[in-house]
Amino acid sequence: EDLRAVEVVLTCRVIAAAARAGARRVVLLSTVMVYGFDRPARPIDESFPPRPRHPFNRVALEREQAAQAAARGRKLQEGLMQ
């Protein structure tokens, strides 16, 4: 639960602060591990279904989803780098 508080809650707070400060876009760095250890050897994109198994990777996916929703809710352009 502490990991979630840091990764998800604080990320959303940073996005809210960025919006209040007049930012037009935010970029979130994440991990390809949200797609799991058994992802294919070929390149994948966002259409590949996430399958995080490790607790940190599950929280990373939750952080990505929360950040995307927070950015959309504040009309910020968002980018995700893995």
What is the mean pLDDT, run by run of 10 residues, along the chain of 82 residues?
Answer: 89 94 94 91 91 94 94 90 81
What pLDDT sits at residue 24?
94
Long-range contacts of 21-27 (CB under 8 A, 24+ apart): 23/76, 24/76, 24/77, 25/76, 25/77, 25/78, 25/79, 26/67, 26/71, 26/76, 26/77, 26/78, 26/79, 27/78, 27/79, 27/80, 27/81
How far apart are alpha carbons 26 and 50 in whole angstroms?
22
What pLDDT sits at residue 8?
94
What pLDDT sits at residue 31?
92
